[in-house]
Structure 1
């Protein structure tokens, strides 16, 4: 853990975020927090026979959890929270004999909680909240007699909390913290009928931020949300892990605290702006990138302080105040964005020398009142979407000093106010 760069000539035990056993330089700990890890999880880690801790938090890692990790017999801490991981939780994971903490929250996991969870005899911490898990909580979870904290909220679980699990609650048992979705209206819910079984019964609450828009619980209407956003983005792209569209959807469902009704223009606009952020490699921007922790006030404040607002110039529009992107404020107040005064519709997106990368998302075509799109001096590549030819209010299009390829779409010349 001395911090040498990876792939340098030093022994891998001395690379940053890695620690080894003292006696024989065998890798035992791999711990990354907020280091923008992407890609997928390699199955080859199964051969690190003495791996004890694998912690990869707050990245954009996608794909499935390899079932081969179920052979890591020395592993006692597995933390993959706040990524874009999909698929089911491999049943093999629950068979790890020394596993003390399993934290898979804030991903895109689907399927059910396997009855094999009862095999995790050493498990003390279980965080599965903010995923898309369905089905019921298995009775076998009552076999986890060492369990102290279990967070299952913000999923699609239903049915009753098993009596055997309730029997593990303090003071007679070990569980001091147990949460599940109580549900509202027709939402899936977990019934904690036994008195004092669940320490909390929760559902996604409306934002505490002032808003003129209606608020809803997103966990109750995923299909409706997808229906709305499928008019803006290709549905397959929306559901393909790792795409800017999928990442934007995941942010809206799990991390955004400025909730607005999916049938409102504001919902679609906020989604489009998030797609723009991820499409242009927002985490690598020089300024105004989203904070690493979107729920921590101090982290948000630091990110906002680092955001240099665009100059409002002579235009009489609100915005440009300089909040970091993806923060709880309205998107009109994110840096480099300005909106119409009367109805908070995005009208100006202006970036100069902010190291924008990636590609231009076609979704911007749905910002019907976009008047200025200026993205200068970056490394944006790919083609100019021909769909931009529908931006009838656009009068300034500046994409100079980038790596854009392809032909100039003929549709651009048809913009009436350009």
Structure 2
């Protein structure tokens, strides 16, 4: 396999460093090679100026990981003999200086992970002898065409500019870099197609364009690079089929085409000529991978990742011959049958994922989890007891047995069995018993999911010792008692799911110390007391669900401070008082940017993600809908229903222009429907039923084009129901229990309104009150359906490429679907 070797030269360490001012450099002015790599100098660039200015003879300088800060020292520009410069793993937080372009003797430059910012300086094109250039994990910006200057570096052999903010398409002149051996541009925002001229890079050994926005086919011209050993094109938007040339590149050792839109059928026989192949990754495409039952490959894989490749059948038998195999991913392939005993006997297998299949039966006795690093068997039909390692599984960091049919209890000694585990997922099984107190020994645990089982007893207080926890999900069990009072020790906690248990008591005040909390879901318990004021201090809170408890008192005004909140559900409690107008300041529901979705999914930049994903139940259109992580923050909702709230509805709610769901039903609200509701332009569902509202329905609400569910039944509303647009699709039951209402779709054709008119609404004249509602003709439905069909197929292709348009269009479809169902039920 191709290794990322440095240009060969000798480094000479200076030995122990005792003087933070580096005064010893006064005695070594003729020094040519200096490496202080890993020495914690803790110096700013200003403090480095004098020592560096004395070393005029330096050829090689390595200050990697020296805790340097500030800007890149200006004294470097005077080191005219310098050829190799390594300043990586420091915290300069400055721009790349333009004077680097004047250091024409530079052969190698490395600035990886330096927190550098700003545009790439064009002056670097003046370095005629540059062979190696490495900029990794900075915030460098610019167009790739202005950075990768094909004529500027005639001797360039290695070019790395990854994990930055570089944009644009690869220039066709890239083929002129005839000496290039190593090209790494992964994790940027490159777009367009891979130019065919890349096939002219005859010396290329390593090519990585992963985690970009590249489109088009994998160019067949790559087949002309016989020296190619590593090809990483994963996590892009490439389409078409896998080109035939890949199977004939005999020196290939690693191929990663995962997470694209590649399609077609392919057999693993296709790669038989690549006998050096040890790493093959084709997961998450639209491929169908065929594996003949009797096939024995000529290569020994180390990593084989074929998730979501439509393999089907039993676990492929050829894997029993893969004695070097360390990582195997076969998730989501419709595999069935038992896990074979020989799979547990593969001597080097350390990471296995067989999730989202139809595997059944018990784990074979040969499958000892003691020696694995990662095990993902979730979403199958496996049975038997929870597997227990024969010796402590000291290397295991992920164990996912969720959504199977495992029975029994968690072993009492779990704290010593998995000393380094980070992700422990037993959800949706048939486990029972108490949660062992030894679980508090899992100091590295980041995600614990025991939801959907039959665990009883109290939440062990020892769990608060797991201070690395980011996500804790104990929902849907039979847990009782109170939430641990010291839960605030979990300072890293971001997601807390305790819903559907039998918990009681107050929300512990110590929870306010979990200041990173993004999700708090304690629905369907017996929690009591007031909703605490300190909730308004959790500035990262996005989802707050207190539904179906015994909370009482007033809604705290401080909740209006939650600027990132997207879902507020405090329904089905005993809350009293008025709705605070401060809820109209929830800025997360005022603008159109969902924001924070990567954080909510546990994802970091450049595609690397944590393991866990999220789901939340939101009551929408009187249905309990489960929203998964992919759309969760596209939904904004406020549900205050089934309490004892009184007073007027605050007009400030109309400021929430991107609110999708508003449910205020089942209270004792009075006054009129605010005219400002006509400003809720993204509103899809509005339930004001079972209150004491009076006055007219504001005509401005006709402008709400996404409103597909509007129910005001059992109030004291009066006057004519607004007509047109979405109001033409509503069912008469939406308006029942309001004797003063008239017009379509209720039967009454005339009415009067004894109360004062709504603000901004002129009184209805006598002629208007007696006007008959025109029946909607049959041909209206036909034309409506035809228009819908043409519009859908006419814009489908565009919507596949435009995320923002796609979101809007999905809402429109949702509105039309609900409206059509209402119309059909009305005509019946």
Q: CA deviation at 1:26?
A: 0.6
Report the equivalent of 2:129: 50
Query: Is 1:153–1:203's contact at 8 Å kept on the other side of the alignment?
Result: no
C-alpha distance 106-330 of structure 1, shift in aligned 2 (>3 A): farther
Q: Taking structure 1 as reference, are residues 191 and 50 closer, same or farther at Cα in structure 2, changes over 3 Å only?
A: farther
- Whole-angstrom CA distance in 2 between matches of 1:363 and 1:42: 41
Q: Which deviations, in whole Å up to 9, do the C-alpha atoms of 1:141-192 show, x marking residues without a partner?
A: 1111100010111111122222233211xxxx11111121376xxx444765
CA displacement, residues 261-293 of structure 1 (integer Å, 9 cap, x when unaligned): xxxxxxxxxxxxxxxxxxxxxxxxxxxxxxxxx
Q: Counterparts of 2:243 and 2:206 in 1: how far apart (Å)?
A: 18
Give distance in 2, aligned partners of 1:45 and 1:363: 46
SS in 2 for 1:159: coil
Aligned length: 262
Give the Cα separation in 1 of the matches to 2:562 and 2:154. 46
Structure 1: how far apart are the matches of 2:139 and 2:446?
Answer: 19
Alignment partner of 1:6 is 2:76 = no
Contact preservation (8 Å) 2:562, 2:586: no
Q: Equivalent residue for 1:342?
A: 522
Per the alignment, in what secondary structure is the counterpart of residue 87 of structure 1?
A: strand
Q: Is the 8 A contact 1:318 1:340 kept in 2?
A: no
Query: Residue in 2 aligned with 1:34?
Result: 113
Q: Deviations over 1:73-95 (max 9, x none)?
A: 11111111222221112222332
Asked whether 1:364 is paired with 2:443, we answer: no
Matched, 1:106 2:187: yes
Residues 205-233 of structure 1, C-alpha deviations (whole Å, 9 max, x = no match): 79xxxxxxxxx9xxxxxxxxxxxxxxxxx
Q: 2:227 aligns to what SS in structure 1? A: coil
- Tell me the residue number matched to 1:78: 159
Q: 1:363 to 1:98 in 2, by over 3 A?
A: farther
CA drift at 1:340: 2.6
Distance 1:54 1:320 in 2: 45
How is 1:6-405 mapped onto 2 (pairs within 5 angstroms)? 6-10=72-76, 11-12=78-79, 13=82, 17=87, 26-65=105-144, 66=146, 69-71=149-151, 72-168=153-249, 173-181=250-258, 187-189=261-263, 192-193=266-267, 195-197=269-271, 199-203=280-284, 321-323=490-492, 330=495, 336-338=515-517, 339-342=519-522, 348-349=537-538, 364=563, 366-367=565-566, 369=568, 389-390=585-586
What is the aligned-residue RMSD (CA, Å)? Answer: 4.9
Q: Residues 149, 114 of structure 1: CA spacing in aligned structure 2 closer, same or farther, 3 A cutoff?
A: same
Deviation, 1:56, is 0.7
Looking at secondary structure, tell me which structure has more strand per residue: 2
- In 1, Cα distance between equivalents of 2:124 and 2:221: 29
Relative distance call for 1:95 and 1:392 in structure 2 (3 A) is closer
Once the two structures are superposed, residues 359-405 of structure 1 have per-residue CA deviations (whole angstroms, 9 ceiling, x without a partner) of: xxx9935445499xxxxxxxxxxxxxx99823699xxxxxxxxxxxx
Q: Distance in 1 between matches of 2:86 and 2:584?
A: 44
Unmatched runs of 5 consecutive residues or more in structure 1: 19-23, 207-215, 217-296, 352-361, 372-385, 394-410
> How far apart are residue 106 of structure 1 and its match?
1.5
Structure 1 residues 342, 139: closer, same or farther in 2, change over 3 A?
A: same
Bigger relative contact order (CA 8 A; separation at least 6): 1
Question: Match for residue 291 of structure 1?
Answer: none
The structure with more radius of gyration:
2
* Native 8 Å contact 1:347 1:370 kept in 2: no
Cα contact 1:81–1:107 (8 A) shared by 2: yes
> Aligned partners of 2:73 and 2:105: how far apart in 1?
17
The corresponding residue for 2:353 is: none
